[in-house]
Amino acid sequence: MNRREAIQRVAMLMGGTVIGASLFLEGCQRSASKDIEMLFDPKSIDFLGDLAEAILPKTTTPGAKEAGVGSEIPVLVRDCYKLEEQQVFLTGTAGIDERAKKEFGRKFQQLDKKDQTVFVDILDKEAQDYDEKKAVNELPHFFTLFKQLTLLTFFSSKLGATEVFRYVKIPGKYNGDFPYQKGDHAWAT
């Protein structure tokens, strides 16, 4: 077992998602695909925001679109993913509208919120099945990459850190027995 496998298995045991494993294990590198620039188009940013919003919708807390996730994802894909990962991401996201047409008869952004959620659930299940069966050195499913980036950018955003998590600008000393009430938000810092 190598380090990457160990980290992934520990994260799975802990019930978490390995957020952009290549972001943390390999660091950022500057080798962008020429095709990646199409993600910076306003229509693409809006599309990515809508897809992210289906994962993290607005409720009593802000949603992914409000947090600006759609405009942050292309930056991370361009600056931090290897060319192979960029191609998986681009190919996968480019095929979403075709897939939505096949499943629901309309493009993703034309679906109502309920159908968008159902569609995202289908993609998520497909990604989980794929990622469980793939070899360690194979690239993950595009939706796994997208979901990781959505979670990372949302919870790193100002809205995610201050309105979803509890945030203290200057934390006090460590207190391992801090009072917690069921339903309280987690801490951002």
Q: Give the model's pLDDT for residue 8.
A: 67
Q: Dihedral (C-alpha) 175, 180, 186, 189: value to the nearest 10 degrees?
A: -20
pLDDT at residue 45 is higher than 60 = yes
| pLDDT category of residue 77 using cuts at 50, 70 and 90 | very high
pLDDT at residue 182 is higher than 90 = no
> How distant, in Å, are the alpha carbons of 14, 67, 105 from that of 120?
24, 19, 15
Instruction: Pick 169 or 89 by higher pLDDT.
Output: 89
Instruction: Pick 35 or 60 by higher pLDDT.
Output: 60
Residues in the chain: 189
Residue among 122, 127, 125, 124 at smallest CA distance from 104: 122
pLDDT at residue 185 is higher than 70 = yes
pLDDT tens profile 91-123: 999 999 999 999 999 999 999 999 999 999 999
* Structural tokens at position 85: 């990962």
Domains in the chain: boundaries: 3-164
Q: What is the pTM of this model?
A: 0.75
Q: Give the model's pLDDT for residue 135.
A: 86
- Which range (23-27, 46-50, 87-91) has the least confidence? 23-27
> Could you tell me what percent of the chain has a pLDDT over 90?
56
pLDDT tens profile 116-163: 999 999 999 999 999 999 888 899 999 999 999 999 999 999 998 888
SS3 97: helix
Q: Give the model's pLDDT for residue 15.
A: 54
